[in-house]
Amino acid sequence: MLQFLDAFLTIFHSAFVLFVLFGWAHPKTQKAHVTALLLTFLAWMLLGLYKGVIGYCPLTDWHWDVKRALGETGMSGSFVGYMIEHYLGLSFSRSFYDAITAGGLIFGSLMSFLVHRKNRNSKSEASSQVA
């Protein structure tokens, strides 16, 4: 059961990270993307303040609990860092992992904002042409 949970959390967490990065790109996922961004910001800030670590992610915490129960040790404090080290065989500093993770959230947020603004401007232009 723990192996299944480990695989599930790896797939789900990876999909969630990719959705935070690129969920803005498809019109049908844009509202869910904003929700994912808000949940991520809330976890990083509010739960982070409570846990004493800005950037805290409950998915990483739960996943590391499963990995420890499976006997794995030496996991990076960062899910992104773990994935880079484990699957690509590369190793960087924790500050690098934190920077690219925060940069990814900023990228997803900025793209979401720009797409929302473009959609809003397109709708207002279309309604002014009709009137």
Query: What pTM was computed for the model?
Result: 0.88
Distance, CA of 107 to CA of 101 (rounded, Å): 10
Distance, CA of 19 to CA of 17 (rounded, Å): 5
Q: Which residues touch 97 (CB under 8 Å, ≥6 apart)?
A: 76, 77, 78, 80, 81, 84
Distance, CA of 41 to CA of 67 (rounded, Å): 25
Q: What is the pLDDT of residues 27-48, one digit of tens each?
A: 999 999 999 999 999 999 999 8
Q: What is the mean pLDDT of residues 73-87?
A: 91
pLDDT band at 121 (very low <50, low <70, confident <90, very high): confident
**Cβ proximity of 40 and 109 under 8 Å:** no
